[in-house]
């Protein structure tokens, strides 16, 4: 079974076509990097895999099923967490580096 399949998928955000008629397959054992300039559609591609953006046309399958929000079999770590955008990680006072992680404003 393939991990991800796109079959002639077009993704749109409002009236803007972000990705047009793409077909691709990621094998379950592959490690894949998605590279491109700003606005190329990387985030939209990930959101489609996560079930957050529906395709305008074509079919997407994740682990053999249509993508769905809150799929426990799919993990995603965004580059920036908007809820914590103004926080940084620092070492707490009097703690060892391995255990001393704290959030600071």
pLDDT per residue as tens digits for the range 59-86: 999 999 999 988 888 877 776 655 555 6
Token pair for 28: 């379950």
Instruction: Report pTM.
Output: 0.71
List the chain domain ranges.
2-69
Task: Determine how many CB atoms are found less than 10 A away from the CB of residue 45.
Answer: 22
CA atoms within 13 A on the CB side of 33: 2
Determine whether domain 2-69 maps to CATH 3.40.50.2000.
Answer: no
With 60 as the cut, is the pLDDT of residue 58 above it? yes
Cα angle value 67/78/69 (rounded, 5°): 25
Q: Where are the alpha helices (DSSP H) in 1-105?
A: 42-49
Q: Are strands 16-27 and 88-91 parallel, antiparallel or unpaired?
A: unpaired
Do the beta carbons of residue 27 and residue 2 sit within 8 Å? yes
């Amino acid at each position: 079974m393939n991990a991800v399949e796109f079959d002639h998928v077009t993704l749109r955000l409002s009236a803007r076509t972000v990705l047009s008629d793409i077909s691709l397959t990621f094998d379950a054992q592959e490690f894949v990097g998605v590279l491109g300039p700003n606005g190329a559609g990387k985030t939209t591609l990930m959101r489609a895999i996560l079930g957050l953006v529906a395709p305008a046309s074509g079919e997407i399958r994740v682990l053999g099923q249509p993508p769905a929000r809150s799929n426990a079999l799919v993990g995603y770590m965004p580059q920036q967490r908007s809820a914590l955008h103004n926080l940084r990680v620092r070492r707490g006072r009097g703690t060892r580096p391995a255990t001393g992680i704290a959030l600071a404003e």
